[in-house]
Structure 1
Amino acid sequence: MADLFATLWQTLNSGLPILLLHFVTTLVLLALGAALYMVITPFNERELIAQGNIAAGLALSGALVSITIPLAATLATNHIWLDIMLWGIIAILVQLLTVTIATVLFRGFRSAIEQGNIAIAAVLVGVQLAIALLNAGAMVG
């Protein structure tokens, strides 16, 4: 029994620091991606959400999930920290490009979100999630 506990302890001592490093790295990438998303969108998410704007909350939530999906795929398939960083940054850039293109294609996007248009926010979330799933699939494939 002592051997079992010694083995478990050794496994935790060697694996836990790596797990924490990779997890924290991915959390930092998620925060970076979310911050950049809020910089490139043509409206102020924080202000609109504070005012109770559901469309802005939905759009930001969709962005968070759509950034997280390829980051999770990167985290699950790479065991080297530098690979997680590199592919994580690429995943974020793809998602930011997606939202940039979507805001250009949807005329009046800013005013629609500011007016609380949930339909356009839902379409944006759908586009972001679709690209996120393809992005994640490409990264693991």
Structure 2
Amino acid sequence: MNGTLLDSVQGLVDFAAYFLAALVYLLVFCVIYCKVTPYDELKMVREGKLAPAISFGGAFIGFILPLQSAISHSVNFVDMLIWALIAMLVQILVFSLVRLFFRDLVRQIEENQVAAATLLALFALAIGVLNAASMTY
């Protein structure tokens, strides 16, 4: 009985460590992503603009998918931290590359054009899925 209880408590400690690390990574990702984009997503969303909410939401979920995979497939806590960092870098790179190929993307999102934001969000999600799938080692 005591062994089972101790195992459960140890599981709770591991859960808390992984969960808190994931929350910190999400916060760091949001801060970095908002710095990398030349427009202020959060301000625009507060103003009621849909386009930045869509593009930011896509990037957020596009990062969460590989973050979940890093947590699920890591061999230990440090391994998860490393792969979560890689996932973050990949997602930041997605914005930079899509922006290179679609030169008016920033202006269109600033002008609240939903089509451009949806395209960016879908790229972020697609790369997030590929990123997550690639972490199944």
TM tier, smaller: over 0.9
Q: Distance in 2 between matches of 1:43 and 1:66?
A: 19
The residue type paired with residue 49 of structure 1 is: V
Specify which of 84, 87, 90 is matched with residue 86 of structure 2: 90
Kindly report which structure 2 residues correspond to 1:56-135, keeping only aligned pairs within 5 A, or say none: 56-135=52-131
Kindly report which structure 2 residues correspond to 1:13-92, keeping only aligned pairs within 5 A, or say none: 13-92=9-88
The residue type paired with residue 38 of structure 2 is: P
SS in 1 for 2:135: helix
Specify which of 128, 133, 139 is matched with residue 135 of structure 2: 139
Name the TM-score, length of structure 2 as normaliser.
Answer: 0.94
Q: Distance in 2 between matches of 1:14 and 1:101?
A: 42
Alpha-carbon distance, 1:79 to partner: 3.8
Larger Rg computed on CA atoms: 1
Alignment gaps of 5+ in structure 2 = none
SS in 2 for 1:140: coil
What residue number does 1:11 align with? 7
Alpha-carbon distance, 1:55 to partner: 0.2
Q: Distance in 2 between matches of 1:7 and 1:82?
A: 26
Alpha-carbon distance, 1:9 to partner: 2.0
SS in 2 for 1:116: coil
Q: Deviations over 1:1-31 (max 9, x none)?
A: xx3xx34422222111011101111111111
Aligned length, in residue pairs: 137
Q: Deviations over 1:81-129 (max 9, x none)?
A: 1101111001100110011111121121121011110011111111111
